[in-house]
Amino acid sequence: MGIGVVLLAALMSSAVALRKSFSAADHFFSTHIQQIRIIDFLSRDVKRSTIVTTSAANQTVTCTMPNYIVKAGDADVGTYPAGTRRTPTVTVTPNGAVVHYGLVAGSKPVTQVQYAVNNNAIERRETPCTANSSDAITNTGTTVVTTIASSTDQLVPLTLDVELAKTEYADTSVTFLTTFSFNPPPNANPSATPDPTSQMKRDGTAIFARSYLRNKRRG
């Protein structure tokens, strides 16, 4: 009887330990997948952007990109059916040819995509906009919000525009805090000063990427 109780206790302990370990491992790898997804989303959109800016707190990335596909309600929807690809308009300037998609009577419709951290989730917010001659952006439609990751919590983008380099790129680092047990317990709030142990654990999950703008306006 005694042996049976011991065996049962051992079995239960093992099962609980395995379950906790598996849960933490599962959380780690599923979040890792989301990290990759964030990086890939950002990389794809930065590459096709003309302008990329980041917020002061480095928790928001805003990409302005050409309106390649005609959507219902666009000003030139009569010229091009909705759902088709636009033929670009080329403007010749002293600094070279500038390519626009959807240029109508001087109006420059663009799409603005914003990546933002929202309560540990990463949202992708896509908004139709218009850019004026100074590239000031005005929203002209409804923002579509898509949650692309649910448990990563530190989006650290940096953009740099070095004149000599004649280019611009966005650096992105995404981290999360694992659910493995720690001693001492981690500080769950990444914006506060974390304790060294949890910071070390967080740093260990970092994924970094650098994406160059291929349409950087150099005018």
Partner 1 sequence: MKTRTGVHEGSVLLCALCTILVMSLIGANILVNCTTRYNVTSKQVKAWKEALIAAEAGGDIGYAEVRKTIGDPNVATIFTNDGWATPSPAPANPTWSKSVTSFGQAGSLSSQVTVDKFWTDSNGGPYYRIRSTGTAKVFGVRRTGMDDRMSTGVRFAANAETRGDSDTLLRKIDFNYDHFKATYGDGDGNGIAITTVSNPQISRRIELIATPVDSFDAAVKCLSAFNGPGAASVVDSYDSHNTPPNGVSTPPGSNYYFAADNPSDPHYADSRNGNVAVDTPSFSESGPIYGSVGTNGGNVTHAAYPNIYGTIDNSISFTVPPITQPSPPTGVSYQPGTPNTINPTAAATNPATPDWYLYSDFKNVTINARQDATGHPLETYVTVVATGNVGGNGNPTLTIAKGVNAKIYFAGNYSMKASKTYNNNVDGATGVYVYDGNATSQTPSANVSRAAHLQFYAINPPAGQTQIIDTNPGGAGGGSAAQLWAVFYAPGADYYMNGNPDLFGAIVCKTFYGNGNCGFHYDKALLWTAGPPVNFRIASYVEDVR
**Where on the chain is the footprint of partner 1 (CB under 8 A)?**
4, 7-8, 11, 15, 18-19, 22, 26, 29-30, 32-34, 36-37, 40-41, 44, 47-48, 65-66, 68-69, 81, 83-85, 87-88, 90, 92, 94, 96-99, 101, 126, 144, 146-150, 214-215
CA distance 155 to 172: 7
- Of the pair 184, 204, the CB lying nearest partner 1 is at 204
Shortest spacing between CB 90 and partner 1, in angstroms = 6
Shortest spacing between CB 112 and partner 1, in angstroms = 13
- Of the pair 43, 199, the CB lying nearest partner 1 is at 43
Could you count the other beta carbons within 10 Å of the beta carbon of residue 172?
Answer: 25
Shortest spacing between CB 181 and partner 1, in angstroms = 19
- Of the pair 150, 189, the CB lying nearest partner 1 is at 150
Shortest spacing between CB 8 and partner 1, in angstroms = 7
- Of the pair 94, 196, the CB lying nearest partner 1 is at 94
Buried b (16+ CB within 10 A) or exposed e, 120-152: eebbbbbbbbbbeeeeebeeeeeeeeeebbeeb
Instruction: Give me the torsion for CA of 14, 16, 18, 24, rounded to 10°.
Output: -160
